[in-house]
Amino acid sequence: MKSNPPKTVTRPPLNAPQPTPYPAAEAAARLLQARLGEARTNAGWWGTYILFRKEMARFLAILGQTIISPVITTVLWFLVFGFSLGERLQDIRGIPYVDFLVPGLIMMAVMSNAFINSSFSFLITKVHGSVVDILITPLSPNQIILAYTGAAMVRACLVGSVIWVAAALMGAGTLYHPGWSLLFLLLTSAAFGIAGLLTGILAREFDHVNFIPNFLLVPLSFLGGVFYSVRLLPEPWDNVSLFNPIVYMVNGLRYGMTGMSDVSLILGLALTFTAILAGWATTYVILRKGWRLRT
């Protein structure tokens, strides 16, 4: 009588994946993991909006200081220079002096408010130590720049628009080409919003932030054709003024409001775009490395 050979049982390796008895649950787990990955990816843009809203709420909560005060100050400039000098100058290159003055005053207010909004806001987060809360979020450097710059642009354009309306109610003619006016308002506010953010990152004290408006922005604004045409300057100062970038921004808005410009609009656009790109790139590198932030 023949005996049957013993059966050989093949066992799977210990580290081999075990088949799940619930394939539907496994598919649901994979789907959930994919959705969580998408949520993490999109969290930065939602966070960008939240940071933008926080910055908006910050300056709207003190409306008297951020909007009303600069508007009143600029309207006083308009009353003093527009009506006192306007009676003597009459017009500049065929444009009534009152109409000539308004774009310069608006641009001066836009530049200062965009710069102050982002610079002081970011410096406050450093002073309070809450900058760490921003750095540990899923926000990328580009998204942080976008949120702060966007809020600065809103404040600057809001101040500029109120001054524009106030000047129009006082009899100034300030509507020639709305497209050019809006373009230079947005680009200039973006350039100075980024410059303010970069200053807020680098500054250690509030005096460091105040240095830029008091000793750089205000002198360049007064020498940037706000109150006069650079073509009326004697040589060589008429050519020296062309190295002031604010001249191109002021004249870009002046063309949009009055149809008159002392410089090339295309060159003004190119310089403003260059300022935005250079400021954005520098701020991006500093935020990415965390220089003067992770101390």
Quick check: is 109 in a domain? Answer: yes
Work out the mean pLDDT of the chain and round it to a whole number.
85
Q: What is the mean pLDDT of residues 9-34?
A: 58
Question: Would you call 65 helix, strand, or coil by DSSP?
Answer: helix
CA trace torsion 211, 215, 219, 221 (10° rounding): -10
CA 147 to CA 286: how far, in whole Å? 16
> ∠19-25-30 over CA atoms, to 5°?
90
Residue-level pLDDT at 24: 61
Q: Are 94 and 207 in contact (CB under 8 A)?
A: no
Residue 193 has pLDDT above 80, yes or no: yes
Q: Are 149 and 190 in contact (CB under 8 A)?
A: yes
Is 138 exposed, middle or buried (CB count within 10 Å of its CB: 0-12, 13-18, 19+)? middle
Quick check: is 29 in a domain? Answer: no
Q: pLDDT digits over 67-114, tens only?
A: 999 999 998 988 888 777 666 667 788 888 888 999 999 999 999 999
Q: Are 268 and 251 in contact (CB under 8 A)?
A: yes
Q: How does residue 37 score in pLDDT terms, banded at 50, 70 and 90?
A: low
Residue-level pLDDT at 130: 84
Element holding 95 (H helix, E strand): strand 95-96
Q: What is the mean pLDDT of residues 4-27?
A: 57
Element holding 102 (H helix, E strand): helix 97-128
Quick check: is 205 in a domain? Answer: yes
Quick check: is 145 in a domain? Answer: yes
Quick check: is 284 in a domain? Answer: yes
Quick check: is 35 in a domain? Answer: no
pLDDT, greater one: 132 or 113: 113
Q: pLDDT digits over 257-273, tens only?
A: 999 999 999 999 999 99
Question: Would you call 90 helix, strand, or coil by DSSP?
Answer: coil
DSSP 177: -
Domain that holds residue 230: 52-289
Residue-level pLDDT at 222: 86
pTM for this prediction: 0.82
Q: How does residue 39 score in pLDDT terms, banded at 50, 70 and 90?
A: very low
Q: How does residue 15 score in pLDDT terms, banded at 50, 70 and 90?
A: low
CA 215 to CA 244: how far, in whole Å? 15
Number of folded domains in the chain? 1
Quick check: is 4 in a domain? Answer: no
Quick check: is 44 in a domain? Answer: no
